Homo-oligomer: A and B are copies of this chain.
Amino acid sequence: MNHQRPCREDARDPAPWSNGAQAIGVPPFADVLADTHRVMRRAGSTLKLEGEVAGGHYVLFSGWLAVAKSMLDGHRQIVDVVLPGGFLDAVSADLCTSVVEIEALTDVSYAAIPRQDWQRLLRERPDLARASDGSVRAAMSRMSARMLRLGKGSADSIVAFALCELCLRSTGGGLSEGWAYHIPMTQQQLGDFCGLSAVHMCRTLQRFRRDDILELRAPMRMVIRDLPALAAIAEIDPPVLRQQIVPAA
C-alpha cells in the first residue's frame, strides 16, 4: 500500500531530525549544547511533576513532549506540545516552581540546562537568544489560538485546528491535500490536548472520516482529504497560521 503523495516518516523514527518541526539549523545548536548533559527518556515517562521544584530549560532534540496540567479529579489538559528543535521553559514567575507536568509522548532525547548556564548561553549566543525568543512567541500564538477554541469553539473547530497545527509543525510547514502524517498520541491524549473526552475525540474523527475530510489509515495516521473543508472548520488560513505558530518561518 504505497502513498501517491509524499509521506512523512514516523515520528518514532530513529532518525532524529526527520520530522524537525522547528528545525533551526538541524540539529539545533548542536555546537552550543555539545557539552551539555543529554538525556533520553522512554515514551510515557514523566519528566517533571506539577509543583515540583524545577530544573530549568530544555532543548528537545528528538521525539515529542506534552506539557500538561491536571485537575484534582484526574482530568488532564495538555497545554502545549513540544516538537524536535523546540525550547521549553517549565518555570513560573517565581523562577523555581514548575507549574506543569511534562510527559514524553514518544521516546525523546533532550538537553536539560540549568538556569545559570542558560542565561550565560543566551548572552553569548544571540542566535540562540533569537531562536528562543521566537519559540516563546510562537508558543504564545499557538496557545492563544487554542484558548479561543477551547473557550468559544465547537469540538469540531478545536479538533480541526489541532490537526492543522500538528501537521504544520511536525512536517515543517507542509499542509496540503493528500499529505499523510502521523500524530504520536493516543486519542485519549489528543482529547486531553483539545479539551475533549476520548470518546468525543473518536466521534469527531470518525465524522471527519465519513465526511471525507480525513482519511484514517491506521490509528493516528492521517491523510487530509479535503483541506479547504478542514481549514474552514478550523477557521484558519494555512499559510497565515504557519507564519504565526511555526518559529523561524
Contact = CB atoms under 8 A, between A and B. Distances in A.
B244 A144 contact: no
A18 to B, nearest CB: 22
Interface stretch (A3-11, A26-34, A147-155, A212-220): A147-155
B93 A138 contact: yes
Interface in A88-111: 89, 91-95, 97, 99-100
**Copies of this chain in its oligomeric complex:** 2
A208 to B, nearest CB: 19
A243 B137 contact: no
A145 B194 CA distance: 15
A62 interface: no
Nearest to A138: B93
Given A71-B235, A99-B244, A143-B143, A93 B249 contact: yes
A144 to B, nearest CB: 5
Contact of A69 (B93, B100, B145): B145
A141 interface: yes
Contact of A97 (B51, B89, B243): B243
Interface of A: 51, 67, 69-72, 75-77, 79, 89, 91-95, 97, 99-100, 134, 136-141, 143-153, 157, 192, 194-195, 235, 240, 243-249
